[in-house]
Structure 1
Amino acid sequence: MVFAVVMIFVDQTVVSIAAPSIIEELGLSSSGMQRVVNAYLLALAACFALGGRLADVFGHRRMVVVGTLVFVVSSVLCGSVPTGDFAESWLVIFRATQGLGAALVFPAALAVVVSVVPVDKRGRALALFFVLAGALTALGPLLGGWLTAWTWRAIFWINVPVAVVALVLTALARIPDARRRERLDVPGAVLVATGMGLSVLGIQQSSVWGWTSPATWACIIGGLVVLVVFCRYELRTDEPLIKLRIFRDRAFAADTLVLFFSMLAFVPVLYFASVYAQISLSSSPHQAALYVLYFFVGFGLSAQWGGRILDKHGARPTMMLGTALACAGFALWAAQLTDLSAHDQWPYACLAGAGMGLVLSPASTDAVNRAIDASYGEVTGVTQSVRNYAGALGMAVFGTVLTHVTTSRVAQTLSAKGLPEAEVQGAARSIAEAVTGHPDDRSPTGGGPTSTLLRSAFEAVHMDFAEANQWVFYGMSVSLGVAYLCTLLHPGTRVTGEVAQTGAEETAQERSRR
């Protein structure tokens, strides 16, 4: 199962490392590249609930196999994208189908692990599961940096041998393929995917359409309305996609809120830290991978500790400590970004990662432990939907902030360098969109004196981009501060094996009476 899910984790990091190379070769804007990243995250968020339900209805092993095949075929197609006008659409489409494959694999794989481990040992077991996956994921940036130096397309093709190993091991493991004879809630799946898709699309496109555009707010409000309709529908149907009554459990609701606000920072930091390293620190893709690895070192070291705290004392202590550390880590990291020195930043990157390691696995495990009728695939689908929806939302919001602040800072720099006022906004926007080492190539102003001014200003633009990233990283710190407040809602109760077994028996008796 670790091999099955490692592709999912690697693809969240490896594409970030290769982003500048993809932008340069295919001629994408930074907004276009964010759409490529967001397509994967959004498909994950939109389809996780469906993936979890499919795993329960059709069998965990079967969904692992099907999802892996969808993922690896999509990976090959992503690596085969043709250059030209259709490049962005091609990548967005097949990154989305990658996300679909991942949404089928992860709930099923995690449900397999959960189903064979006693509840009082799950904290350590799932922490080990996430650490092993995270350790292999940590190789993703390093591998991505090395592969990108050859060709960025290899970052997708590397999934093929990993998928082959995963499929062979899945066959050898002889995993039981238990199924639940229940109807699949197709209308619910369509509603949740539509609602999530529209709301995130509106926020992500706000950097292009503008916050005053009717289209922006039509998507955001329309998506939220659809999600409200989805909730009302689920409460009235006999066999819903998501049993919303589980949110009546105060601990589960607190776990979900903590995951949501934590993931607003976790996924975006991998992208923005990589781009910051390559733009503001002038790092190579390989050096940027090492920069991001600081965060993963802290994450990996603390995750096992968080699992042990969960098993002994419950989820609340580790979540409170983790969110506090991550909040402080991101704030201190943000303050150091304008020093333009990776050496001065690594302790704070490690601190932020350590905080995240103490939060994510325990919160997810505690939520799964509270599954209704031991429907681990379904509850995993719910928690992972929340995690990845938050990740896509974070990418959209922080991407918008980064674009706007970068444009403002660069415009001030270009004005100070003597660029005519009539050309400042267009050139500043062009540089902010490009986010590469060649701003003059994408400037609409052409060559001549203007191009010379842009070249002379680019050293200052390094600092402009760093200052814009400060806003993003401080925003991540704020989101972890809110997550800390959400931990206070957790009652501090623990789920024991006896409680879990009693709950499952009571639910089974209730279904038998019906």
Structure 2
Amino acid sequence: MAVTQKSNQNIILTAMILAVSMTTIDQTIVALSADTIQSGLGISHAAMTWSVNAYLLATAAFFMLGGRLADVFGHKRMAIIGIIGFALCSLLCGLTPSGNIADTWLITARAVQGFFTALMFPAALGIVLASFSEQGRGKAMATFFGITGAVTAIGPILGGDLTEWTWRSIFFINLPIALLALVLIARQYVPETRVNAPIDWKGAATVALGMGLAVCGLQQAGTWGWNSALTWAFIVCGLAFLGIFVLLEEKVRYPLLRIGLFKSRAFSLSTIAVIFASMAFIPIFFFMSVYAQISLGLSVNQTGLLLLEFFIGFVIASRYGGQIFDKHGARIPLLAGGALGAAAFAWWATKLGELQDGGAFFSSPQFWPTVLAGAGLGLMFSAAATDIANRGGAQAYGASTGISQTAKNLGGAVGLAIFSALLATQLNANLTQSFTALGASATDASAVAQNINSGQQSSQSSGDFDKLPPPVQKEFKDAVRTSYANANKPVFYGMSATMAIVFVMGLLYPHTTAQEKAARKVGGVSLAT
């Protein structure tokens, strides 16, 4: 298949990075500006939480459909539709009126915005894949994932500055970015091979229900409780629909998901690696952000700098991982990234309790573990995602990227649910021990832990503790800081374990064949086996 000239390749890559960066910035900027949005609109904490969750649910539910639509109707067309739709929904979010309809308006707009993200993301990745030969695709995808991931750190910094003007500007900022992406991509030739086949709407509905219910159950487990019948009803029903989806796809002529792809050992192992890596990669933003504000005492803007440390390693290692993938395939990046990530997260866990006021950033005890953890994920993530797309073939770039992004979202949801439950249990135990030693009750400790776990990070200085003498207040605040820092240790050891599983996937991954080595030297050959 023909690829574009180098100058056009760079323009296309820039356009798709801009488009997808809107979505990655949006995830952190909205979550960290939630308190400001909530007070500005006068909505409840539950409504604000659902405005965040609705976006994530819609994205997870429709990734698979978005990928198939791109293959059938064209990656460029679906990318443009996704960019325009995302921008219009951003406008609607920014125009949310105050009053009785504010919560319904915002939640609905965010859900539809998530749907357009699911249309845009697989199409954008498909465009990048189609525009670069096999020989340089890993490097291009590494640049794509590295930059779109790194701009996540811009969210807290940008959000802090924009919300000082008006919280609505965090949504309006997407409009000029979308316009620039559209201008860049509109006149570029994108080589693509469309699939002349109907859409499996029954499969699309089934997988959307399955992913939506399962992810919703995992998201709400912290609120409803793991002992809640509702939590397990959602998760079990979601898994049941996903099982039905697999059975349906084996029988239809034009499936949304080619089940036969999983007969490829390499395809299956790369997909599993993405799931387990995402169990660390997606939740780390949440845990780092809350740790920075509670234990390190950082502002929202300063939290962005802490996230930047992580992405220094991620971006640099992504480039090397992409180059290794182009020459040798996915096995070495999986091995190296899994091993480095497992060691770095374990080292990071040992440094979480070494607290310095103001963070100290690049000279902090956590700096090198943070950078190396990012490097471990960077080495393997884009390589695994590119491997999944390559093995799907040129006519299924959208569907293949839909699979990798669905795996990413599922892994992230599972990781966040498990590690949040682990953190909550450990935090309650730590606070109870610290507070009772200071003369407070276990009930006081549980109340503070519950407030922190529900997202009320300022709760460490709230309630009756404000009435205590300043020296005593400081003792309790220090107890909260250290208790939360130490409660994160088992979480980070858990992330180390998920990266160790990535390493095992690398051990099991087949060695590159002579045919594949030749294909990588020549370029342009799809690895569909």
Q: Same fold, TM exceeding 0.5?
A: yes
- In structure 1, C-alpha distance between the alignment counterparts of 2:373 and 2:414, rounded to whole Å: 20
Q: What's 2:266 paired with? A: 251
Query: Are 2:166 and 1:168 aligned?
Result: no
Select which of 399, 406, 413 maps to 2:434: 413
SS in 2 for 1:182: coil
Unaligned runs of 5+ in 2: 1-15
Displacement of 1:479: 1.2
* 8 A contact 1:334–1:470 mirrored in 2: yes
**Cα 1:73–1:454, aligned 2, differ >3 Å: closer, same or farther?**
farther
- Taking only aligned residues, the RMSD between alpha carbons, in angstroms, comes to 3.1
Q: What's 1:394 paired with? A: 415
Q: What's 2:314 paired with? A: 299
Displacement of 1:24: 6.7
Q: What's 1:69 paired with? A: 84
Displacement of 1:433: 2.4
Q: What's 1:510 paired with? A: none
Query: Are 2:477 and 1:462 aligned?
Result: no
- In structure 1, C-alpha distance between the alignment counterparts of 2:39 and 2:310, rounded to whole Å: 26
- Partner AA of 1:402 in structure 2: L
What is the aligned length?
Answer: 503
* 8 A contact 1:261–1:390 mirrored in 2: yes
Select which of 385, 393, 405 maps to 1:364: 385
Query: Are 2:506 and 1:491 aligned?
Result: no
SS in 2 for 1:370: helix
* 8 A contact 1:42–1:389 mirrored in 2: no
* 8 A contact 2:67–2:402 mirrored in 1: yes
Displacement of 1:105: 0.7
Query: Are 2:140 and 1:125 aligned?
Result: yes
Displacement of 1:456: 6.0
**Which moves more between the two structures, 378-387 or 148-157?**
148-157
**Cα 1:328–1:55, aligned 2, differ >3 Å: closer, same or farther?**
same
* 8 A contact 2:270–2:387 mirrored in 1: yes
Alignment map for 1:56-455 (pairs within 5 Å):
56-81=71-96, 91-175=106-190, 179-341=194-356, 342=359, 343-372=364-393, 374-420=395-441, 425-439=446-460
Q: Deviations over 1:143-194 (max 9, x none)?
A: 2343344444432221111011111112122446753221111111111111
**Which moves more between the two structures, 76-85 or 106-115?**
76-85
* 8 A contact 2:390–2:527 mirrored in 1: no
- In structure 2, C-alpha distance between the alignment counterparts of 1:107 and 1:99, rounded to whole Å: 13
Displacement of 1:394: 2.2
Q: What's 2:9 paired with? A: none
- Partner AA of 2:372 in structure 1: L
**Cα 1:288–1:412, aligned 2, differ >3 Å: closer, same or farther?**
same
- In structure 2, C-alpha distance between the alignment counterparts of 1:89 and 1:451, rounded to whole Å: 43
**Cα 1:270–1:59, aligned 2, differ >3 Å: closer, same or farther?**
same
* 8 A contact 1:195–1:226 mirrored in 2: yes
Displacement of 1:27: 8.1
SS in 1 for 2:194: coil
* 8 A contact 1:78–1:94 mirrored in 2: yes
* 8 A contact 2:57–2:111 mirrored in 1: yes
- Partner AA of 1:391 in structure 2: G
- Partner AA of 2:487 in structure 1: A
Task: Give me the TM-score of the superposition, normalised by structure 2.
Answer: 0.86
Query: Are 2:486 and 1:471 aligned?
Result: no
Displacement of 1:235: 0.4
Displacement of 1:237: 0.8
- Partner AA of 2:385 in structure 1: S
- Partner AA of 2:431 in structure 1: V
Unaligned runs of 5+ in 1: 508-514
Query: Percent identity among equivalent residues?
Result: 43
**Which moves more between the two structures, 29-38 or 188-197?**
29-38
- Partner AA of 2:483 in structure 1: D
Q: Deviations over 1:439-495 (max 9, x none)?
A: 465x5x899779998786233212222122223222211111112112222102264
Displacement of 1:135: 5.0
**Which moves more between the two structures, 48-57 or 115-124?**
115-124
- In structure 2, C-alpha distance between the alignment counterparts of 1:424 and 1:4, rounded to whole Å: 44
* 8 A contact 2:79–2:121 mirrored in 1: yes
* 8 A contact 2:130–2:190 mirrored in 1: no
- In structure 2, C-alpha distance between the alignment counterparts of 1:478 and 1:266, rounded to whole Å: 13
Displacement of 1:113: 1.7
Displacement of 1:45: 2.1
Q: What's 1:511 paired with? A: none
**Cα 1:396–1:85, aligned 2, differ >3 Å: closer, same or farther?**
farther
SS in 1 for 2:132: coil
Q: What's 1:13 paired with? A: 28
Displacement of 1:212: 2.0
**Cα 1:94–1:409, aligned 2, differ >3 Å: closer, same or farther?**
farther
Displacement of 1:112: 1.4
